[in-house]
C-alpha cells in the first residue's frame, strides 16, 4: 500500500526495539474473542486509475449537476472565482489541524481573524466567531445561547417561514431545554409572519428567531419584528441563509439584532449536495462570553509583534467540559477560509454587484412568469433572489415535467407545507443568463399554459 | 503556619473564599491568597448582578484565566447589594490584591448564621497546612 | 543532527484590509447595467455601507499564499498531534471530489437525478456500519463533537420512547475529551465522572458503584486518551447493559482498531467516527470534519433524519417518526464523506487492517525509544499513541517548552496538557503514515531536547527561535479581546 512506508525489514527492527515478536503481540490488551477473524465485508482494494473510473461513472449518474437549476432553499449556486479553490488547495491550509500552536499556525489564525472581521462587517454586528457547522446548527446554538442569557423567561418564538430544516434542527437541540417553543404563523397573502402573530411576543419571550429572506424568498417586516421584540425585552435573532443577500439588503446589525446567524455557503463554496458549507455566528459584544465556538483574537508576541491566537477559550469544552457554552470543537475552518477569500476577491463593489444581479434576475423572472404563464406569484412583497410561484397544477407534476426538459424548476413547498400543494420555490442567481431565464419561462408556458 | 497570607479579621470557606463582616449582616466576599496564587493570571471575572438573590450553596461568580475557569461558591445567603465594578476593566486586581481592591461582591443577609459557620483565620490557616501536607 | 529543523522564507504580510485601496477590483462578472437595480427594494430594506477589502486578484493570491507559509502542515512534516490522527491526506481524494458532477449537485435535486451521490451515501452507511460492527450508520453529523451530540441524542430518544425518564446520568471517565461531557450536557444529561485507576483504566468496582437505575449509560473512548485499551471492555459493556444502560463509544481513537477489531463486537451500542482522523480526510486548519454515527440494531430507528435507503437498485431518502430529529440542514458534509469513501476503497478489505497495525507499531516504537528520556505516568501497554509528561524535566523545563523546542527542530508539537489526568501531558500519535526514518529523526529531536534541558536549558526555554512569532501573550488576548480588525 502506497500510504504505508514501513518495510518488512524495518518492521522487524522496530519490533525488536519494542521487545515483542510480532505486531499481533501489540494488540494483546484486546480480548482474543474480539479480534476480527474474517475479512470485512467491504469491496476489494482499488488502484488509482480504477478509483478514478469508478468516481467518474458515479458522477455521471448525478444528472442533476448538469441541468438548468432553479433550486435554492438554503443552498445556492453562485459564481466563484477560480482563485478561491486554488488558494484553499494549498496544503498548508488544508492539511493543518486546528491552530492550537500559534507559532506554527499564524496562517490559519490570521485568515480566520480576517473571516471574523468580514462576517462581522457583512452582518454589521460586533463580533463573529470562527464558524459553526452550518446555518441550521448555528440557529440552534443561538437559541441555546439566548436561553442562557434570559434565564428567567420560558418561551422561544420561531417564525414558521424559516427554512423547515432549520426549524427541525432547532427543535432537536432545544425542545427538551426550553419550556415552550411556539411558532409565529404565516400570513397566506404575504408569505411572511402574520402581523397579528407578533402579539405573541411578550415579557416571557426568550427570543424571536426568524429568517430573511425567508424560506419562500420573502423579506419579513424587519422593523416591526425588531421593535416588538425589543419592547418585550426579548432577544432578536435573525437568520440569513443566503449570505450574498447582505450585499444589498438591510443587515442584522441595522435592525439591532442581539445574535445573528446564517449560512455562508453562498460565499464561494460549492453546493456539494449540501455540505461542507459554513455556519455563521455573530452577536453583540456584551454577549461574547456566552458565545459558542472558537474565537481568534489579536495580541502581541514576546517580541512585540502583532499576532493572533485562539482566545476566550474558557467558554469552551476543553476547559469548561459539561459547563461549556457548546460542545463544538472542529468547525468548518477551511470553508470559512474559502468564504473570506471569496469576500476579499469580490470586495465591497463585487459583492454588491452580485447582489444586484441576483435582485434583477429574480425581478425579471418573477415579472415574466406573472405576465406570460399560467403560474401566479404566490405572495405580495419584497424578495431577494428567491420567490414562490403557484402553478395551476400540483407542484410535483409541474416539476416532473420540467425535469423531463432538463430543468430543475425549484422546490415543491408541500414537502414541508402540505397546504401549499401547488407552490414552487424558485431561485435564480447571477450564474443564470437572461436566455436561460427565458428558457425557463418558455418551459413553464408549455407545461402550465400561458397567461389567461 | 501556611505559606499564605490569612488576615485575622476575615472568615474563610474550604473552597477558599473569604468573607468580611461589614456590620448589620452585610458581608464582603473575595478569594483567598491561596486561591489567587493557584489560579494564575486572571483574564476575566464574571460577577453576580446587583439585587440578585443568592443562597450559600450557589455558584454566583466565575474567574477565568487563559487555561481555566473557576467557579466561586457563594458563602452567604442574601441579596447582592454591590459588586466590584473595577474588575470588569482590570480583572488582574484580584490576583494582585485579593484582600483589598480585589474583592468581588457584597451581600446583605438577614442573619449572621452563614458567617459564623465559616472557618476563622486560624482554622483556615491550619486547613491550608493540612492541604499542603497532602 | 538529522532532524529537519526549521528555516524559512518569511515575508511579512499585513491584514487583507490593510492592503485595500479604494477603487481596486479583484473580480470579473459579466458586463451588465446595474444602475438603479437597488430600487427594486424599498429604501428601508437596503443596507448602508459594506466594509470589505478592495484588492486586486494578485493582492488576494499573494496574501493567502504568504499566510499559508506561516502554517505548519502535514504535507510539510511530521505532525504527531495526539488524539488527532494526523495521517496523510491522499491527493487522489482531493482531485476526484472536485469533479463538478459532485460539487455542482444541489441537495434538493430529486433523487432520480442524484443517484451517483446517493449510491455513495448508501454504500458509506453500509461500509461504516460493517467496519465498526454496527447495524446501521448515519452520515449527517458534521464533526466528531456533532457525532457525539447525535449519538447521545439517540440514547436520549431511546430512553424517552421506553418511558424510562429516570435515567438522567451518563458516566464518563476523567481521561475523556472535553467534548464528551459537553455533548452529554447539551442533551440534558448529568455527567458522573469516573476516576481512572492506577493503570489509567476503568476500574470495574468503581464502575459498579456508579451504576444505578438513573444511569443512561457510559461514554468510553477505547483505546482511551492514554492510548490504553480497556482490556475489561467485555465486562464493562456487560455490566452497563445489565444495569439497563447503553454504551457509547467515542471513535476518536478508532485508528488503533481499524480493520483489527470492531467496537460493535465488544458490546458498544453507539459510536461516532471522525472521518478527518481515521479515514484520512484533511482537517482544513479546524474543519470541515465529519462524524458519522453507527448504532446497534435496537437503536436504528432513532438515527437522525434523513437516511438513504435502496429499493430495487434505486436510492432515495427516508425519514422516520421515531428518529431523534434532524441534526443539521441537508445530509452532512458530503464533500468530506466522498473523500473517506475513496480512502476506504483504495485500502479495501485486504489492506484496511494494515493502517491500525502500522499505527500501533509506530507509536510503540516511539515509546520504546523515548521511555528512558521522558516520564511515563502510566506504565500500561498502549496502542496507537503514548502520553509522556514533564515531571522529571530539570531546570523548570515544562511541556510547553518541549513543544516549542520541537517547533525549532522542524516538527509540529504533540498534544499538550491533555489528558488532564496526566499533569504536563505530552501526547504523541505518529499514525501509520510515517516512515522509520521520520520516527528516528523525531526521536533524535526529542532526545536532544531532553539533553538540552539539562545542559543548555535556555535553548529550550527560549524556543521557538525559528518562527516569525514566538510565545504570544494569550493573557492579553483574553483580557482585552480584539476579535476583529477596526479601521483607525
Does A314 lie in the same domain as A435? no
Query: Residue A267's pLDDT is what?
Result: 98
Confidence of residue C415 (pLDDT cuts 50, 70, 90): very high
pLDDT digits (tens, 9 = 90+) for B74-96: 999 999 999 999 999 999 999 99
Residues C180, C182: Cα–Cα separation, whole Å: 5
Does A199 lie in the same domain as A145? yes
- Report the CATH number at residue B24: 2.40.50.100
Residues A340, A250: Cα–Cα separation, whole Å: 21
Does A218 lie in the same domain as A73? no
CB burial string A99-112: b at 16+ within 10 A, e below: bbbbbbbbbbbbbb
Please indicate if any CB of chain A lies within 8 Å of the CB of C137.
no
Strand partners, A156: A181, A207
Please indicate if any CB of chain C lies within 8 Å of the CB of B68.
no
Residue closest to A237 by CA, chosen among A270, A201, A197 = A201
Segment (H or E) for A297: strand A295-300
Please indicate if any CB of chain A lies within 8 Å of the CB of C104.
yes
Does A397 lie in the same domain as A266? no
Residue in the block written with cell 463582616: B21
Instruction: Using DSSP bridges, classify how beta strands A411-412 and A423-427 pair: parallel, antiparallel or unpaired.
Output: antiparallel
Query: Residue B132's pLDDT is what?
Result: 64
Q: Which of A179, A322, A433 to mutate to test the interface with C (most CBs of C within 10 A)?
A: A322
Q: Which residue of B has its CA nearest to A321?
A: B69
Q: Do A314 and B66 touch (CB under 8 A)?
A: yes
Strand partners, A300: A306
DSSP A26-76: HTTTS-GGGB--S--SSPPP--HHHHHHHHHHHHHT-GGGGSEE---SS--
C292 and C273 in contact (C-beta within 8 Å)?
yes
- Report the CATH number at residue A272: 3.40.640.10
Q: Do B69 and A320 touch (CB under 8 A)?
A: yes
Q: Is residue A270 part of a domain?
A: yes
Does A129 lie in the same domain as A90? yes
The domain tally of chain B equals 1
Q: What angle do CA A362, A365, A368 make, to 5 degrees?
A: 145
Residue closest to A59 by CA, chosen among C265, B120, C338 = C338
- Distance, in angstroms, between C112 CA and closest chain A CA? 8
The answer, yes or no, to whether residue B133 has pLDDT greater than 70, is no
| A235 backbone dihedrals φ, ψ, rounded to 5° | -90, 135
Q: Is this structure's pTM higher than 0.80?
A: yes
Q: Give chain B positions within 8 Å (CB) of C424.
A: none
Does A302 lie in the same domain as A261? yes
Q: Is residue B100 part of a domain?
A: yes
- Distance, in angstroms, between A320 CA and closest chain B CA? 7
Residues A166, A137: Cα–Cα separation, whole Å: 8
Please indicate if any CB of chain C lies within 8 Å of the CB of B64.
yes
- List, run by run, the mean pLDDT of 10-residue segments along chain A (452 residues): 96 98 97 96 98 98 98 98 98 97 97 98 98 98 97 96 98 95 97 98 98 98 98 98 98 98 98 97 97 97 96 90 91 97 97 98 98 97 98 97 98 94 97 98 96 82
List of chains touching B (3+ CB pairs within 8 A): A, C
What is the distance of C-alpha C391 from the center of its chain? Answer: 28
Query: Residue A92's pLDDT is what?
Result: 97
Q: Do A263 and C329 touch (CB under 8 A)?
A: yes
Q: Which of C277, C477, C482, C486 to mutate to test the interface with A (most CBs of A within 10 A)?
A: C477
Give me the CATH topology for the region C93-347. 3.40.640
Q: Is residue A323 part of a domain?
A: yes
Write the DSSP symbol of residue A143. Answer: H
Domain layout of chain C by residue ranges = 93-347, 351-474
Residues in C 193-222 with any Cβ partner in A closer than 8 A: none
Q: Is residue B68 part of a domain?
A: yes
Q: Is residue A184 part of a domain?
A: yes
Please indicate if any CB of chain A lies within 8 Å of the CB of C481.
yes
Sheet with strand B69-73: strands edge to edge? B44-46, B59-64, B69-73
Q: Do B66 and C474 touch (CB under 8 A)?
A: yes
Q: Give chain A positions within 8 Å (CB) of C360.
A: 23, 26-27
The domain tally of chain A equals 2
Residues in C 138-167 with any Cβ partner in A closer than 8 A: 142-146, 148-149, 153, 156
Query: Residue C1's pLDDT is what?
Result: 60
Q: Which residues have C-beta within 8 Å of that of residue A357, sequence separation ≥ 6? A: A429, A430, C29, C32, C34, C37
pLDDT digits (tens, 9 = 90+) for C363-413: 999 999 999 999 999 999 999 999 999 999 999 999 999 999 999 999 999
CATH number for the segment(s) C351-474: 3.90.1150.10
Query: Residue A69's pLDDT is what?
Result: 98
The whole domain housing A433 covers: 68-78+348-448
- Report the CATH number at residue A362: 3.90.1150.10
Torsion sign (Cα): A98, A100, A103, A104 = negative
Q: Give chain C positions within 8 Å (CB) of A337.
A: 64, 284-285
The answer, yes or no, to whether residue B134 has pLDDT greater than 60, is no
Q: Which residues have C-beta within 8 Å of that of residue A59, sequence separation ≥ 6? A: A65, C99, C101, C102, C116
Q: Do B44 and C474 touch (CB under 8 A)?
A: no
What is the distance of C-alpha C303 from the center of its chain? Answer: 21
A106 and A308 in contact (C-beta within 8 Å)?
yes
Cell numbers of C175, please? 481521561
Q: Is residue B77 part of a domain?
A: yes
A191 and A216 in contact (C-beta within 8 Å)?
yes
Share of chain C above pLDDT 70, in %: 99
Residues in chain B: 134
Query: Residue C5's pLDDT is what?
Result: 82
The whole domain housing B57 covers: 11-111
Q: Is residue B39 part of a domain?
A: yes
Instruction: Using DSSP bridges, classify how beta strands A235-240 and A259-263 pair: parallel, antiparallel or unpaired.
Output: parallel
Does A396 lie in the same domain as A312? no
Q: Which of A289, A314, A315, A322 to mutate to test the interface with B (most CBs of B within 10 A)?
A: A314
Does A370 lie in the same domain as A326? no
> Residue A353 burial (CB < 10 Å; 0-12/13-18/19+)?
buried
C6 and C413 in contact (C-beta within 8 Å)?
no
Please indicate if any CB of chain C lies within 8 Å of the CB of A404.
no
For helices C115-132 and C334-370, angle between their N-to-C axes, nearest 10 degrees: 30
Does A140 lie in the same domain as A91? yes
Amino acid at each position: 500500500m502506497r500510504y504505508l512506508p514501513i518495510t518488512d525489514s524495518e518492521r522487524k527492527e522496530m519490533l525488536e526495539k519494542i521487545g515483542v515478536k510480532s505486531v499481533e503481540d501489540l494488540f494483546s490488551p484486546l480480548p482474543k474473542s474480539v479480534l476480527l477473524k474474517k475479512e470485512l465485508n467491504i469491496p476489494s482494494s482499488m488502484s488509482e486509475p480504477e478509483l478514478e473510473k469508478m468516481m467518474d461513472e458515479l458522477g455521471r449518474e448525478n444528472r442533476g449537476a448538469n441541468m438548468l437549476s432553479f433550486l435554492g432553499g438554503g443552498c445556492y449556486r453562485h459564481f466563484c472565482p477560480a482563485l478561491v479553490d486554488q488558494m484553499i488547495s494549498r496544503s498548508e491550509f488544508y492539511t493543518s489541524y486546528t491552530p492550537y500552536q500559534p507559532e506554527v499556525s499564524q496562517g490559519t489564525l490570521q485568515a480566520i481573524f480576517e473571516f471574523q472581521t468580514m462576517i462581522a462587517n457583512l452582518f454589521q454586528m460586533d463580533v463573529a466567531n470562527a464558524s459553526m457547522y452550518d446555518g441550521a446548527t448555528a440557529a440552534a446554538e443561538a437559541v441555546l445561547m439566548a436561553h442562557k442569557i434570559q434565564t428567567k423567561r420560558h418561551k422561544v418564538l420561531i417564525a414558521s417561514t424559516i427554512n423547515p430544516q432549520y426549524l427541525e434542527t432547532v427543535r432537536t437541540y432545544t425542545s427538551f431545554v426550553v419550556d415552550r417553543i411556539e411558532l409565529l404563523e404565516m400570513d397566506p397573502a404575504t408569505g411572511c409572519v402574520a402581523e397579528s402573530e407578533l402579539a405573541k411576543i411578550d415579557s416571557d419571550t426568550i427570543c424571536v428567531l426568524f429568517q430573511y429572506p425567508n424560506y419562500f424568498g420573502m423579506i419579513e417586516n424587519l422593523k416591526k419584528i425588531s421593535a416588538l421584540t425589543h419592547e418585550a425585552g426579548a432577544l432578536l435573532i435573525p437568520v440569513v441563509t443566503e449570505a450574498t443577500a447582505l450585499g444589498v439588503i438591510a443587515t442584522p446589525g441595522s435592525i439591532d439584532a442581539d445574535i445573528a446567524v446564517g449560512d455562508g455557503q453562498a460565499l464561494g463554496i460549492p453546493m456539494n449536495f449540501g455540505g461542507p458549507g459554513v455556519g455563521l455566528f455573530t452577536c453583540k459584544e456584551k454577549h461574547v462570553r456566552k458565545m459558542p465556538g472558537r474565537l481568534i483574537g489579536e495580541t502581541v508576541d514576546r517580541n512585540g509583534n502583532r499576532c493572533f491566537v485562539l482566545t476566550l477559550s474558557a467558554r469552551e469544552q476543553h476547559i469548561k467540559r459539561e459547563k461549556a457554552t457548546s460542545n463544538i470543537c472542529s468547525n468548518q475552518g477551511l470553508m470559512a477560509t474559502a468564504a473570506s477569500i471569496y469576500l476579499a476577491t469580490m470586495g465591497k463593489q463585487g459583492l454588491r454587484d452580485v447582489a444586484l444581479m441576483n435582485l434583477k434576475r429574480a425581478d425579471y423572472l418573477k415579472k415574466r412568469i406573472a405576465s406570460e404563464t399560467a403560474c401566479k406569484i404566490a405572495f405580495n412583497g419584497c424578495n431577494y433572489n428567491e420567490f414562490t410561484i403557484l402553478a395551476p397544477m400540483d407542484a410535483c407534476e409541474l416539476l416532473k415535467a420540467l425535469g423531463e426538459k432538463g430543468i430543475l424548476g425549484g422546490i415543491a413547498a408541500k414537502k414541508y407545507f402540505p397546504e401549499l400543494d401547488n407552490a414552487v420555490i424558485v431561485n435564480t442567481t447571477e450564474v443564470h443568463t437572461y436566455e436561460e431565464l427565458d428558457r425557463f419561462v418558455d418551459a413553464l408556458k408549455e407545461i402550465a399554459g400561458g397567461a389567461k | 503556619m501556611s505559606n499564605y497570607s490569612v488576615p485575622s479579621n476575615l472568615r474563610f470557606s474550604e473552597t477558599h473564599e473569604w468573607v468580611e463582616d461589614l456590620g448589620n449582616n452585610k458581608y464582603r466576599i473575595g478569594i483567598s491568597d491561596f486561591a489567587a496564587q493557584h489560579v494564575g493570571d486572571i483574564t476575566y471575572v464574571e460577577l453576580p448582578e446587583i439585587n440578585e438573590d443568592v443562597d450559600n450553596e450557589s455558584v454566583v461568580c466565575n474567574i477565568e484565566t487563559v487555561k481555566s475557569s473557576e467557579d466561586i461558591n457563594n458563602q452567604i445567603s442574601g441579596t447582592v447589594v454591590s459588586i466590584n465594578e473595577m474588575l470588569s476593566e482590570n480583572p488582574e486586581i484580584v490576583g494582585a490584591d485579593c484582600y483589598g481592591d480585589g474583592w468581588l461582591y457584597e451581600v446583605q443577609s438577614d442573619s449572621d448564621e452563614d458567617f459564623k459557620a465559616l472557618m476563622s483565620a486560624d482554622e483556615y490557616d491550619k486547613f491550608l497546612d493540612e492541604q499542603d501536607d497532602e | 543532527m538529522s532532524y529537519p529543523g526549521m528555516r524559512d522564507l518569511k515575508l511579512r504580510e499585513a491584514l487583507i484590509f490593510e492592503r485595500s485601496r479604494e477603487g481596486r477590483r479583484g473580480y470579473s462578472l459579466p458586463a451588465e447595467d446595474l444602475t438603479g437595480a437597488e430600487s427594486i427594494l424599498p429604501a428601508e430594506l437596503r443596507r448602508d455601507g459594506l466594509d470589505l477589502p478592495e484588492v486586486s486578484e494578485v493582492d488576494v493570491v499573494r496574501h493567502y499564499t504568504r499566510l499559508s507559509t506561516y502554517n505548519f502542515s502535514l504535507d510539510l512534516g511530521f505532525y504527531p498531534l495526539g488524539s488527532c490522527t494526523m495521517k496523510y491526506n491522499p491527493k487522489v481524494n482531493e482531485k476526484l471530489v472536485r469533479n463538478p458532477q459532485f460539487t455542482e449537485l444541489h441537495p434538493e435535486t430529486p433523487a432520480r437525478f442524484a443517484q451517483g451521490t446517493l449510491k455513495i451515501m448508501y454504500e458509506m452507511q453500509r461500509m461504516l456500519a460493517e467496519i465498526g460492527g454496527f447495524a446501521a450508520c448515519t452520515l449527517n453529523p458534521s464533526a466528531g463533537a456533532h457525532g457525539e451530540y447525535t449519538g447521545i441524542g439517540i440514547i436520549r430518544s431511546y430512553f424517552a420512547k421506553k418511558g424510562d425518564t429516570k435515567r438522567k446520568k451518563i458516566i464518563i471517565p476523567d481521561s475523556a475529551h472535553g467534548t464528551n461531557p459537553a455533548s452529554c450536557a447539551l442533551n440534558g444529561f448529568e455527567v458522573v465522572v469516573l476516576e481512572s485507576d492506577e493503570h489509567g483504566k476503568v476500574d470495574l468496582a468503581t464502575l459498579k458503584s456508579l451504576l444505578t437505575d438513573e444511569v443512561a449509560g457510559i461514554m468510553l473512548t477505547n483505546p482511551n486518551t492514554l492510548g490504553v485499551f480497556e482490556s475489561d471492555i467485555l465486562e464493562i459493556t456487560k455490566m452497563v447493559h445489565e444495569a439497563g444502560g447503553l454504551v457509547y463509544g467515542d471513535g476518536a481513537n478508532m485508528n488503533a482498531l481499524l480493520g483489527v477489531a470492531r467496537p460493535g463486537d465488544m458490546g458498544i451500542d453507539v459510536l461516532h467516527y471522525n472521518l478527518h482522523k481515521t479515514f484520512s480526510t484533511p482537517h482544513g486548519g479546524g474543519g470541515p470534519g465529519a462524524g458519522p454515527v453507527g448504532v446497534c440494531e435496537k437503536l436504528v430507528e432513532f438515527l437522525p433524519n434523513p437516511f438513504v435507503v435502496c429499493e430495487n437498485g434505486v436510492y432515495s431518502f427516508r425519514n422516520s417518526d421515531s428518529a431523534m430529529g434532524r441534526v443539521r440542514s441537508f445530509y452532512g458534509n458530503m464533500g468530506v464523506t466522498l473523500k473517506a469513501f475513496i480512502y476506504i476503497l483504495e485500502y479495501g478489505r485486504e489492506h484496511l487492517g494494515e493502517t491500525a497495525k502500522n499505527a500501533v507499531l509506530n507509536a510503540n516504537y516511539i515509546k520504546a525509544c523515548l521511555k528512558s528520556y521522558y516520564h511515563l505516568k502510566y506504565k500500561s501497554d498502549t496502542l496507537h499513541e503514548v502520553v509522556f509528561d514533564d515531571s522529571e524535566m530539570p531546570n523548570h523545563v515544562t511541556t510547553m517548552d518541549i513543544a516549542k523546542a520541537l517547533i525549532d527542530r522542524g516538527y509540529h508539537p504533540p498534544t499538550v496538557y491533555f489528558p488532564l489526568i496526566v499533569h504536563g501531558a505530552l501526547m504523541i500519535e505518529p499514525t501509520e503514515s510515517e516512515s522509520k526514518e521520520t520516527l528516528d529523526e523525531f526521536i533524535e529531536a526529542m532526545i536532544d531536547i531532553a539533553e538540552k534541558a539539562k545542559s543548555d536549558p535556555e535553548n529550550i526555554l527560549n524556543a521557538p527561535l525559528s518562527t516569525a512569532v514566538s510565545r504570544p501573550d494569550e493573557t492579553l488576548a483574553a483580557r482585552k479581546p480584539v476579535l476583529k480588525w477596526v479601521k483607525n
